[in-house]
Structure 1
Amino acid sequence: MVVAVAMVFVDQAIVSIAAPNIIGELGLSSSGMQQVVNAYLLALAAFFALGGRLADVLGHRRMVVTGTLVFVVSSVLCGSVPTGGFAESWLVVFRATQGLGAALIFPAALAVVVSAFPLNQRGRALALLFVLAGALTILGPLLGGWLTPWTWRAVFWINVPVAVLAVVLTYAARVPNDVRPERIDAPGAVLVAVGLALSVLGLQQGSAWGWGSAATWACVGGGLAVLAVFCRYELRTREPLIKLRVFRDRAFTADTLVIFFSMLAFVPVMFFASVYAQISLSMSPLQAGLYLLYVFGGYGLAAQWGGRILDKYGARPALRLGTALGCAGFALWAARLTDLSPLDQWPYACLAGAGIGFVLSPASTDAVNRAIDASYGEVTGITQTVRNYAAAVGMAVFGAVLIHVMTDRVTRTLTARAMPQGRAREVARKIAETITGNPDDLLPRGAGETATVMRGAIHAVRADFAAANQWVFFGMAVSMGVAFLCSLLHPGTQVREEAGEAVGAGRERGPLG
């Protein structure tokens, strides 16, 4: 299960490293590349609840193997994308099917691990799963930096041997395939997928369509309305996709809120930090991968401590400590971004990673321990849907912030060099939209006035990108601060061993004590 989950984790990080090369070869814009990244995250969020339900109904082993096959075939197709105008659509489609495969793998794999350990060992067990998967995730940026100079397509093809190993180990470990002959809520699955997709699409396209555009708010409002319909439908159907009564448990609700606001920062930071390192710090893809190790180093150490705290004292202390550390780490890191010195940033990057490490495993494990009728796949589906929806929203919102601030700052930089306001705004917008490529490649060729001004301003543009990222990282600090406030809602109660098999009955009476 570690190998299967690591494949999903690695793919989130490795593509961020290759982003500038993908953009350069395929001619994508920054918003186009964010669509490629978001297609994966959005499919994860949209289909996680269905993946968790399918794991319970059809069997955990079957879903791990099926998801792995979907994932690896999609990876091969992503790496085989043709150049030309069809490239962006090709990548978006098959990144989405990759996300579907991951949505089948993840809840089933976590359910296998949860069911294999007694209640008082699950914190350390899942922490170990996340740490080992995270340790292998560290290879993502390093592999990305090593493979990208050869060909960025290899960052997708590398999933093939990992997938083969995951399938072989799944059968060798004789993972059980217990099934629950229940109906699959197809209408609910459609409603939640449409609602999540529409709302994130509106946020993602806000910069391109305009924040005053009817299309932007039709998508956001329509998506939220569909999600409201989904909740109403789930409360009335006999065999729902998600048993929403689990949210009656105050601790479960607190866990879910902490996961949401923490994940607004965790997955996006891998993308934005990687691109910042390559643009503002002029790092190579391999060096950018090493730069991300600061975050993963702190994360790996804290995740193990967080699991031990959960098993001994419950989730509340770990959640409060992690969210507070994460808020401080992101704020201090943001303050150092414009110094353009990696050596001054690493303690704060580690602190931000440690904050996430203290949060992720305890919040996820505590939520799963509160599963209704021991339906671990279903509850894992809920928490991971929230996690990946938050990641997609974070990518969309922070991407919009980056483009807006970057456009304003570059416009001022160019007008200060006597470029006309209208032309400066046009050039600044182009740079902001394509900044995840090499800015040197964006310079107008020739000896015209615009080309001359741009060549003289390139170092200032790199500094402008660092300043724009400051807003993004301060936003991540704010999201961790909100997560801290949500952690205060946790009552501090622990699930007892004897409650593990009959949690559903306790849920009808109220929160577990």
Structure 2
Amino acid sequence: MTVTAGGGRPRRLVLAAMIFAVAMTFIDQTIVSIAVPQIQSELKLSNTGVQWAVNAYLMALAALFAYGGRLADTVGHRRVVVLGVVVFALASLLCGLTPKGAAAQAWIVVFRAVQGLGGAMLFPAALGIVVQTFPLRERGKALAMFFGVAGGLTAVGPILGGWLTSWTWRAIFWVNLPVAAVALVLIALAKPVTEHRPARMDYRGLALVASGIGLSVLGFQQSQIWHWSNPGTWLCIVAGLVLLVVFHRVELRTAEPLIQVRIFSVRAFLVENMVLGISMLVFIPFFFFASEYAQLSLGKSASEAGLYLLYFFIGFVVASQFGGRMLDRGGAKRPVVAGCAVCAVGFYLLAGEVTDLDFGSQQWSIVLAGAGMGLMLTPASTDAVNRASRLSYGEATGITQTVRNYAASLGLAVLGTVSVARFQSRLADSLAARGVPRGQADAQARSLAQSHSTSGGSTSSIPHFVRLDFAYATRTVFSVMAGVMAAAAVVAWFGLRRGVQQEIAEPPGREPGAAHPTGASAPPGTPDGDRQGPEPDA
């Protein structure tokens, strides 16, 4: 039986509290990028330092999601949400108070990483509360609102960031404080009650998975600075992947593992995570590349570039509501396949329009791409978490979020390389066509492509051919995104089965990894003789 909100509190109040709790984590995925020029200028950060002011947060999120999910399932979801909100808010305050001088770079990078720790704790716990609060047949609709609003805030980040930085860049961090205060008040009013199962923390597994993800994400993120030809890039990626393989083997032999990796033998969970991983190669990267295109090729300001992304957000939020209802009525396959296909079409149409340098002609394609992503994301994420037992929703969420953030880092690195290479090639040809000797044209194009500015403003100072060349590079990126989403649709079509997911029973006393009646391996959190009975997270 699914546990509802404690004290008879309305479920919608619980949902609102959890949306406010996770809102900060989604906004911070993109809001800082808008303020990078101001942060770098005022604090006198190096290029590497300012890059890490952005990357430290994303890398900490990816590396620690599994820990946050496991902690929520063993300590209590509400406790971990509150702790995560407090940690995130305090880290935000300290980021905004970064002092000028020699300590500035280390200060902001460290507390951005602490923000990531807070986000990694609160998100799996918040989602676990929503899943346990709503019964299975209402879960799709509830999580459509959760993912629709929270996910859409990723697009709001650049708009809000552009407005706040006109006052001070520090405000992009301080804006989290009132959001955190509202979240804590709503949590206190809602008093959500969930079940958890006390267990030992697998710190060996935590060290392996955090190191593996951290190293490989470091390699992906630094590839644009170190370049793919640098041995350090590949050393980080390969070492990280080796540690993840070791982590998998160790977890299979651990009595109380950080992640019950046998859950991947559940076909639907595996396929949903494959679809989410493929899709996230383009979801978060889209905001970065679209923002660059809007500012460099279209000459938009930072805040105007945020409005460009708002069209994606509109399609995303509206379609996510339909996706949740389709999941509740007929299962995940139809909305996931349709969403991936619609998103692929949207990116394909958008790719054909960006070289016109006319924002008006692109709006419906952006909405279509956003609608496809929204239609897919809620059912895929919800259906994946539904495959876990009610005592392991946090852990399952930690897995799916780890996959999503890992894929987003890979997508940013690979698509960034594609963008720079295409931009450089076009620039070299354009310069040569204007009489610049080929060798000199190649050298100038290489320098411009590696250091192009997206500070926005009037395009009068940017030659038209440079704007057009960057638009062609963006067209290549969006074309690749269309192909990636088409591949996700194929995986979903052949991998998912029709039908509505049934509530997973929790028979007492089953040993870890024992088979379910369906023949699948036991999901994470399956009770065994060494664990205490479920306790309410009051």
TM-score w.r.t. the length of structure 1 is: 0.90
For 2:45 and 2:141, locate their aligned partners in 1 and report how far apart those are by CA, in whole Å.
43
Structure 1 residues 440 and 134: CA distance shift in structure 2, 3 A: closer
Structure 1 residues 476 and 465: CA distance shift in structure 2, 3 A: same
Q: Which is helix-richer, 1 or 2?
A: 1
| Letter paired with 2:497 | P
Q: CA deviation at 1:145?
A: 2.2
Deviations 1:80-110 (A, max 9, x none): 3345676555443332221111111100000
Q: CA deviation at 1:41?
A: 2.0
Structure 1 residues 161 and 275: CA distance shift in structure 2, 3 A: same
For 1:80 and 1:209, locate their aligned partners in 2 and report how far apart those are by CA, in whole Å.
30
Instruction: State the secondary structure of the residue aligned to 2:129.
Output: helix
Q: Which residue of 2 aligns with 1:171?
A: 188
Q: How does 1:363-442 map to 2 (within 5 A)?
A: 363-372=380-389, 374-421=391-438, 423-438=440-455
Q: Which residue of 2 aligns with 1:446?
A: none
Structure 1 residues 120 and 191: CA distance shift in structure 2, 3 A: same
Higher mean displacement: 157-166 or 429-438: 429-438
Q: CA deviation at 1:484?
A: 1.0
Q: Which residue of 2 aligns with 1:451?
A: none
Instruction: State the secondary structure of the residue aligned to 2:348.
Output: helix
Structure 1 residues 222 and 493: CA distance shift in structure 2, 3 A: farther
Matched, 1:301 2:286: no
| Letter paired with 2:465 | A
| Letter paired with 1:163 | A
Q: Which residue of 2 aligns with 1:482?
A: 487
Instruction: State the secondary structure of the residue aligned to 1:205.
Output: helix
Instruction: State the secondary structure of the residue aligned to 1:495.
Output: coil
Instruction: State the secondary structure of the residue aligned to 2:497.
Output: coil
| Letter paired with 1:230 | F
Q: Which residue of 1 aligns with 2:501?
A: 495
Structure 1 residues 456 and 414: CA distance shift in structure 2, 3 A: farther
**Does the Cα contact within 8 Å between 1:72 and 1:159 map onto a contact in 2?**
yes
Structure 1 residues 396 and 95: CA distance shift in structure 2, 3 A: farther
In the alignment, which of 53, 59, 66 is matched to residue 49 of structure 1? 66
Structure 1 residues 125 and 111: CA distance shift in structure 2, 3 A: same
TM-score w.r.t. the length of structure 2 is: 0.86
Q: CA deviation at 1:501?
A: 3.6
For 1:409 and 1:371, locate their aligned partners in 2 and report how far apart those are by CA, in whole Å.
49
Matched, 1:240 2:257: yes
Higher mean displacement: 344-353 or 82-91: 82-91
Q: Which residue of 2 aligns with 1:261?
A: 278
**Does the Cα contact within 8 Å between 1:413 and 1:457 map onto a contact in 2?**
no
In the alignment, which of 127, 140, 156 is matched to residue 110 of structure 1? 127
For 1:89 and 1:460, locate their aligned partners in 2 and report how far apart those are by CA, in whole Å.
40
Q: Which residue of 2 aligns with 1:510?
A: 519
Structure 1 residues 373 and 134: CA distance shift in structure 2, 3 A: closer
Deviations 1:111-155 (A, max 9, x none): 001000111111111111122324555543332221122222211
| Letter paired with 1:284 | S
Q: RMSD of aligned C-alpha atoms?
A: 2.6
For 1:403 and 1:439, locate their aligned partners in 2 and report how far apart those are by CA, in whole Å.
18
**Does the Cα contact within 8 Å between 1:30 and 1:433 map onto a contact in 2?**
no
Q: How does 1:77-116 map to 2 (within 5 A)?
A: 77-82=94-99, 87-116=104-133
Higher mean displacement: 369-378 or 411-420: 411-420
Matched, 1:191 2:196: no
Q: CA deviation at 1:485?
A: 1.7
In the alignment, which of 344, 347, 357 is matched to residue 374 of structure 2? 357
For 2:146 and 2:154, locate their aligned partners in 1 and report how far apart those are by CA, in whole Å.
12
Q: CA deviation at 1:24?
A: 5.3
Q: Which residue of 1 aligns with 2:351?
A: 334
Q: How does 1:25-174 map to 2 (within 5 A)?
A: 25=42, 34-82=51-99, 87-134=104-151, 136-137=153-154, 139-174=156-191
**Does the Cα contact within 8 Å between 1:333 and 1:473 map onto a contact in 2?**
yes
For 2:36 and 2:136, locate their aligned partners in 1 and report how far apart those are by CA, in whole Å.
41
Q: Which residue of 1 aligns with 2:242?
A: 225
Q: Which residue of 2 aligns with 1:452?
A: none
For 2:246 and 2:517, locate their aligned partners in 1 and report how far apart those are by CA, in whole Å.
23
For 2:453 and 2:485, locate their aligned partners in 1 and report how far apart those are by CA, in whole Å.
25
Q: CA deviation at 1:246?
A: 1.0
Structure 1 residues 476 and 138: CA distance shift in structure 2, 3 A: closer
Deviations 1:25-45 (A, max 9, x none): 556687765544332222111
Structure 1 residues 440 and 412: CA distance shift in structure 2, 3 A: farther
**Does the Cα contact within 8 Å between 2:156 and 2:310 map onto a contact in 1?**
no
Q: CA deviation at 1:18?
A: 3.0
Structure 1 residues 21 and 330: CA distance shift in structure 2, 3 A: farther
For 2:135 and 2:82, locate their aligned partners in 1 and report how far apart those are by CA, in whole Å.
25
For 1:274 and 1:507, locate their aligned partners in 2 and report how far apart those are by CA, in whole Å.
47
Matched, 1:460 2:465: yes
For 1:98 and 1:24, locate their aligned partners in 2 and report how far apart those are by CA, in whole Å.
22
| Letter paired with 2:449 | A
| Letter paired with 1:476 | M
Instruction: State the secondary structure of the residue aligned to 1:306.
Output: helix
Q: CA deviation at 1:205?
A: 2.5
For 2:107 and 2:442, locate their aligned partners in 1 and report how far apart those are by CA, in whole Å.
31
Q: Which runs of 5+ in 2 are unaligned?
A: 1-17, 522-538
For 2:457 and 2:105, locate their aligned partners in 1 and report how far apart those are by CA, in whole Å.
23
For 2:226 and 2:436, locate their aligned partners in 1 and report how far apart those are by CA, in whole Å.
26
**Does the Cα contact within 8 Å between 2:302 and 2:455 map onto a contact in 1?**
no
Instruction: State the secondary structure of the residue aligned to 2:29.
Output: helix
Q: CA deviation at 1:425?
A: 4.1
Structure 1 residues 260 and 12: CA distance shift in structure 2, 3 A: same
Q: Which runs of 5+ in 1 are unaligned?
A: 444-454
| Letter paired with 1:383 | T
Q: Which residue of 2 aligns with 1:312?
A: 329
**Does the Cα contact within 8 Å between 1:28 and 1:88 map onto a contact in 2?**
yes
For 1:98 and 1:412, locate their aligned partners in 2 and report how far apart those are by CA, in whole Å.
44
In the alignment, which of 355, 361, 364 is matched to residue 347 of structure 1? 364
Higher mean displacement: 29-38 or 54-63: 29-38
Indicate the percent of aligned positions where both proteins have the same amino acid: 52
**Does the Cα contact within 8 Å between 1:195 and 1:225 map onto a contact in 2?**
yes
